[in-house]
Amino acid sequence: AAAIEVRGVAKRYGTRDAVIALDGVDLTVRQGEFVCLVGPSGCGKSTLLRMMAGLHRPSEGEVLVHHDGTGRTPTAMVFQDYGIFPWKSVRANVRFGLDVAGVPRAEATRTVDSWLTRLGLADFADAYPATLSGGMRQRVSIARALAVEPEVLLLDEPFAALDAQLRTVLQEELLALWQADRRTVVFVTHSLEEAILLGDRVVVMSARPGRILADLPVPLPRPRS
Protein backbone atom coordinates (compact mmCIF):
# COMPACT_ATOMS: atom_id res chain seq x y z
CA ALA A 1 0.00 0.00 0.00
CA ALA A 2 1.09 3.59 -0.57
CA ALA A 3 2.37 5.47 2.48
CA ILE A 4 3.07 8.75 0.66
CA GLU A 5 2.00 9.94 -2.77
CA VAL A 6 3.59 12.93 -4.45
CA ARG A 7 1.59 13.97 -7.49
CA GLY A 8 2.64 16.58 -10.03
CA VAL A 9 4.43 18.64 -7.41
CA ALA A 10 6.12 21.93 -8.15
CA LYS A 11 7.61 24.24 -5.53
CA ARG A 12 8.72 27.79 -6.16
CA TYR A 13 10.32 30.18 -3.71
CA GLY A 14 11.02 33.86 -3.59
CA THR A 15 9.55 37.01 -5.03
CA ARG A 16 7.74 36.24 -8.26
CA ASP A 17 8.47 32.56 -7.58
CA ALA A 18 11.91 33.11 -9.10
CA VAL A 19 13.46 29.98 -7.60
CA ILE A 20 11.98 26.78 -9.03
CA ALA A 21 12.99 24.25 -6.40
CA LEU A 22 10.90 21.37 -7.76
CA ASP A 23 9.03 20.84 -10.99
CA GLY A 24 6.85 17.94 -12.11
CA VAL A 25 7.70 15.51 -9.30
CA ASP A 26 5.74 12.26 -8.98
CA LEU A 27 6.70 9.67 -6.39
CA THR A 28 4.90 6.94 -4.47
CA VAL A 29 6.52 5.65 -1.28
CA ARG A 30 5.11 2.27 -0.29
CA GLN A 31 4.69 1.07 3.27
CA GLY A 32 7.84 -0.51 4.66
CA GLU A 33 10.18 0.88 2.02
CA PHE A 34 13.51 2.51 2.82
CA VAL A 35 13.69 5.20 0.13
CA CYS A 36 16.79 7.33 -0.27
CA LEU A 37 16.47 10.68 -2.06
CA VAL A 38 19.88 11.53 -3.48
CA GLY A 39 21.17 14.37 -5.63
CA PRO A 40 23.38 17.45 -5.63
CA SER A 41 22.91 20.36 -3.27
CA GLY A 42 19.95 22.47 -4.34
CA CYS A 43 18.02 19.74 -6.21
CA GLY A 44 15.09 20.05 -3.81
CA LYS A 45 15.58 17.01 -1.56
CA SER A 46 14.92 18.93 1.64
CA THR A 47 11.99 20.72 0.09
CA LEU A 48 10.40 17.42 -0.90
CA LEU A 49 11.05 15.88 2.52
CA ARG A 50 9.63 18.92 4.31
CA MET A 51 6.49 18.66 2.22
CA MET A 52 6.09 15.06 3.35
CA ALA A 53 6.38 16.33 6.93
CA GLY A 54 3.77 19.00 6.25
CA LEU A 55 6.29 21.80 6.85
CA HIS A 56 6.03 23.18 3.30
CA ARG A 57 3.09 23.26 0.91
CA PRO A 58 3.53 22.57 -2.78
CA SER A 59 3.02 25.46 -5.21
CA GLU A 60 1.35 22.95 -7.52
CA GLY A 61 0.20 19.36 -7.14
CA GLU A 62 -0.27 17.46 -3.90
CA VAL A 63 1.56 15.42 -1.30
CA LEU A 64 -0.68 12.84 0.34
CA VAL A 65 0.33 11.05 3.52
CA HIS A 66 -1.90 8.01 3.91
CA HIS A 67 -2.79 6.66 7.31
CA ASP A 68 -2.44 3.00 8.10
CA GLY A 69 -5.43 3.10 10.46
CA THR A 70 -3.46 2.61 13.69
CA GLY A 71 -3.90 6.24 14.67
CA ARG A 72 -0.17 6.74 15.05
CA THR A 73 1.64 10.00 14.34
CA PRO A 74 1.98 10.20 10.55
CA THR A 75 5.56 11.45 10.31
CA ALA A 76 8.55 12.27 12.48
CA MET A 77 11.66 14.03 11.28
CA VAL A 78 15.37 13.87 12.08
CA PHE A 79 17.59 16.79 11.03
CA GLN A 80 21.30 17.08 10.29
CA ASP A 81 21.78 19.49 13.21
CA TYR A 82 19.90 17.15 15.59
CA GLY A 83 17.18 19.63 16.56
CA ILE A 84 17.06 18.37 20.12
CA PHE A 85 16.27 20.63 23.06
CA PRO A 86 19.49 21.73 24.80
CA TRP A 87 17.65 22.56 28.02
CA LYS A 88 16.12 19.11 28.36
CA SER A 89 17.84 15.93 29.49
CA VAL A 90 18.20 13.01 27.08
CA ARG A 91 15.24 11.29 28.72
CA ALA A 92 13.08 14.41 28.53
CA ASN A 93 13.98 14.91 24.87
CA VAL A 94 12.95 11.37 23.99
CA ARG A 95 9.78 11.74 26.05
CA PHE A 96 8.75 15.03 24.47
CA GLY A 97 6.55 13.74 21.65
CA LEU A 98 4.79 11.25 23.92
CA ASP A 99 3.80 13.98 26.36
CA VAL A 100 2.57 16.15 23.50
CA ALA A 101 0.50 13.23 22.23
CA GLY A 102 -1.00 12.74 25.69
CA VAL A 103 0.34 9.22 26.18
CA PRO A 104 -0.35 8.11 29.78
CA ARG A 105 2.63 8.59 32.12
CA ALA A 106 3.43 4.98 32.89
CA GLU A 107 3.20 3.94 29.26
CA ALA A 108 5.36 6.89 28.18
CA THR A 109 8.00 5.93 30.73
CA ARG A 110 8.10 2.34 29.48
CA THR A 111 8.32 3.48 25.86
CA VAL A 112 11.09 6.00 26.59
CA ASP A 113 13.12 3.42 28.53
CA SER A 114 12.86 0.94 25.72
CA TRP A 115 14.02 3.46 23.08
CA LEU A 116 16.87 4.67 25.31
CA THR A 117 18.02 1.07 25.53
CA ARG A 118 17.64 0.37 21.82
CA LEU A 119 19.72 3.42 20.88
CA GLY A 120 22.41 2.76 23.51
CA LEU A 121 21.41 5.83 25.54
CA ALA A 122 20.39 4.21 28.81
CA ASP A 123 23.55 5.32 30.65
CA PHE A 124 23.08 8.89 29.40
CA ALA A 125 19.40 9.30 30.24
CA ASP A 126 19.98 12.14 32.70
CA ALA A 127 22.72 13.89 30.70
CA TYR A 128 22.17 17.13 28.78
CA PRO A 129 22.89 17.41 25.04
CA ALA A 130 25.83 19.83 25.48
CA THR A 131 27.78 17.07 27.25
CA LEU A 132 27.23 14.53 24.46
CA SER A 133 29.16 13.78 21.27
CA GLY A 134 27.57 14.41 17.87
CA GLY A 135 26.82 10.73 17.46
CA MET A 136 25.04 10.53 20.80
CA ARG A 137 23.04 13.66 20.04
CA GLN A 138 21.92 12.15 16.75
CA ARG A 139 20.92 8.96 18.61
CA VAL A 140 18.77 11.14 20.90
CA SER A 141 17.17 12.76 17.87
CA ILE A 142 16.43 9.36 16.30
CA ALA A 143 15.08 7.96 19.58
CA ARG A 144 12.84 11.00 19.99
CA ALA A 145 11.47 10.55 16.46
CA LEU A 146 10.90 6.80 16.85
CA ALA A 147 9.39 6.99 20.34
CA VAL A 148 6.14 8.33 18.87
CA GLU A 149 6.06 5.30 16.51
CA PRO A 150 5.57 7.38 13.39
CA GLU A 151 4.13 5.73 10.32
CA VAL A 152 6.92 7.33 8.30
CA LEU A 153 10.38 8.32 9.54
CA LEU A 154 11.87 11.25 7.59
CA LEU A 155 15.62 11.94 7.85
CA ASP A 156 17.39 14.95 6.32
CA GLU A 157 21.15 14.26 5.97
CA PRO A 158 21.20 12.96 9.54
CA PHE A 159 24.80 11.69 9.48
CA ALA A 160 26.42 14.41 7.35
CA ALA A 161 27.97 16.17 10.35
CA LEU A 162 29.49 13.00 11.83
CA ASP A 163 32.99 11.70 11.20
CA ALA A 164 33.28 8.74 8.86
CA GLN A 165 33.69 6.10 11.55
CA LEU A 166 30.71 7.25 13.57
CA ARG A 167 28.66 7.62 10.42
CA THR A 168 29.23 3.94 9.62
CA VAL A 169 28.15 2.94 13.11
CA LEU A 170 24.93 4.98 12.95
CA GLN A 171 24.18 3.78 9.42
CA GLU A 172 24.40 0.19 10.64
CA GLU A 173 22.19 0.98 13.64
CA LEU A 174 19.53 2.64 11.50
CA LEU A 175 19.54 -0.29 9.09
CA ALA A 176 19.16 -2.74 11.99
CA LEU A 177 16.22 -0.74 13.35
CA TRP A 178 14.58 -0.73 9.93
CA GLN A 179 15.15 -4.45 9.43
CA ALA A 180 13.59 -5.14 12.83
CA ASP A 181 10.52 -2.90 12.43
CA ARG A 182 10.08 -2.37 8.67
CA ARG A 183 8.92 1.15 9.32
CA THR A 184 8.62 3.35 6.22
CA VAL A 185 11.74 5.50 5.90
CA VAL A 186 12.56 8.41 3.58
CA PHE A 187 16.22 9.39 3.87
CA VAL A 188 17.79 12.44 2.21
CA THR A 189 21.49 12.43 1.39
CA HIS A 190 23.86 13.96 -1.16
CA SER A 191 25.97 10.79 -1.04
CA LEU A 192 25.15 8.13 -3.61
CA GLU A 193 27.32 5.73 -1.63
CA GLU A 194 25.20 6.26 1.47
CA ALA A 195 21.98 6.01 -0.54
CA ILE A 196 22.93 2.64 -2.01
CA LEU A 197 24.18 1.34 1.34
CA LEU A 198 20.97 2.19 3.17
CA GLY A 199 18.10 2.31 0.72
CA ASP A 200 16.16 -0.57 -0.74
CA ARG A 201 15.18 2.03 -3.31
CA VAL A 202 17.21 4.99 -4.51
CA VAL A 203 15.54 8.02 -6.10
CA VAL A 204 18.09 10.18 -7.91
CA MET A 205 17.26 13.87 -8.39
CA SER A 206 18.74 16.57 -10.60
CA ALA A 207 18.84 20.32 -9.98
CA ARG A 208 17.51 23.45 -11.73
CA PRO A 209 14.73 22.63 -11.56
CA GLY A 210 14.56 19.74 -9.11
CA ARG A 211 13.32 16.65 -10.89
CA ILE A 212 13.46 12.89 -10.52
CA LEU A 213 16.11 11.51 -12.84
CA ALA A 214 16.05 7.83 -11.90
CA ASP A 215 14.21 5.54 -9.49
CA LEU A 216 16.18 2.41 -8.81
CA PRO A 217 15.59 -0.71 -6.71
CA VAL A 218 18.66 -1.79 -4.75
CA PRO A 219 18.95 -5.56 -4.97
CA LEU A 220 19.65 -7.48 -1.77
CA PRO A 221 22.06 -8.39 -0.31
CA ARG A 222 23.22 -4.85 0.30
CA PRO A 223 26.85 -3.85 -0.10
CA ARG A 224 28.43 -3.70 3.32
CA SER A 225 31.17 -1.37 4.43
Which residues sit at the interface with ligand ADP, rule CB under 6 A? Answer: 13-14, 19, 21, 39, 41-47, 156, 210
Q: Which is nearer to ligand ADP, 101 or 214 (CB)?
A: 214
Taking the C-alpha atoms of residue 59 and residue 114, their distance in angstroms, rounded to an integer, is 41
Q: Which is nearer to ligand ADP, 39 or 97 (CB)?
A: 39
Q: Which is nearer to ligand ADP, 51 or 119 (CB)?
A: 51
Tell me the one-letter amino acid at 29.
V
**How remote is the C-alpha of 183 from its chain's centroid?**
11
Is residue 225 a contact partner of residue 168, using CB atoms and an 8 Å limit? yes
**How remote is the C-alpha of 139 from its chain's centroid?**
13
Q: Which is nearer to ligand ADP, 81 or 181 (CB)?
A: 81
Count CB atoms within 10 A of the CB of residue 124: 19
* Smallest distance from ligand ADP to CB 12, Å: 9
* Smallest distance from ligand ADP to CB 42, Å: 4
Q: Which is nearer to ligand ADP, 79 or 128 (CB)?
A: 79
* Smallest distance from ligand ADP to CB 44, Å: 4
* Smallest distance from ligand ADP to CB 156, Å: 6
* Smallest distance from ligand ADP to CB 205, Å: 7
Q: How many residues does the chain have?
A: 225
Is residue 179 a contact partner of residue 34, using CB atoms and an 8 Å limit? no
DSSP 222: P
Among 6, 16, 1, which Cα is nearest to 56's? 6
